Amino acid sequence: MNMVSIIILLGLVLLPLLAALVLRSNGAVAFMSVCLGSILASTVASDVSDFVTGFTPINGGAVTDWTRVALVVLPLLIGILVTRKSVSTSRQIINFIPAFAAGLLLALFVIPVLPTAMKQLVTDNSYWDTINNLETIVLLGGAAASYTLFMLSRSHHKDDEKGHK
């Protein structure tokens, strides 16, 4: 087993989780941001890469691959930064589940759009096979946990509004 592939997988899975926990960012927003990034990567990547290729002498295929990766990752980074300090310490346990699901989903969406050699390196790994087999559980569990966190946040804000009247 190649250590580089394990490091890439661990980095993708742990980035949203650690960022959400350290920055106290909303894991549900992180999960939904990864979903948005996947949609962007599948729908607008060719247009964006055509635009970028006009400014760089780099091979068009490489630009398209890295554009897809950027389109998946950028909404996540923005979501984490925008929601920093939005989760109270008492809700960090609830926040852990969607943040972890966001990391797993990030790996599931980024690995297939990596350049061919890097993708092959990671997909020839038994850990990738395990994560890939859990795709349905990650999507459904992450969506349910995100929805729950959103509802808990909403009810928390309603309680605050009642106290101010």
- The predicted pLDDT at position 55 comes to 79
- The predicted pLDDT at position 37 comes to 96
> Which of the pair, 81 or 60, is modelled with greater confidence?
81
Over range 106-129, report the average pLDDT: 92
Over range 98-108, report the average pLDDT: 96
Share the mean pLDDT of the chain: 88
Highest-confidence segment of 53-67, 82-96, 102-116: 102-116
C-alpha span between 15 and 100 (Å, rounded) = 9
C-alpha span between 117 and 26 (Å, rounded) = 34
| Tokens found for residue 133 | 């087999």
Q: Is the pLDDT of residue 40 over 90?
A: yes
Q: Is the pLDDT of residue 160 over 70?
A: no
Its pTM stands at 0.87
Q: CB within 8 A of 44, min separation 6: which ones? A: 71
* Cβ contact 18:49 at 8 Å: no
Torsion sign over Cα 76, 113, 40, 154: negative
Tens of pLDDT, residue by residue over 49-63, are 888 887 777 776 778
Q: Is the pLDDT of residue 152 over 90?
A: no
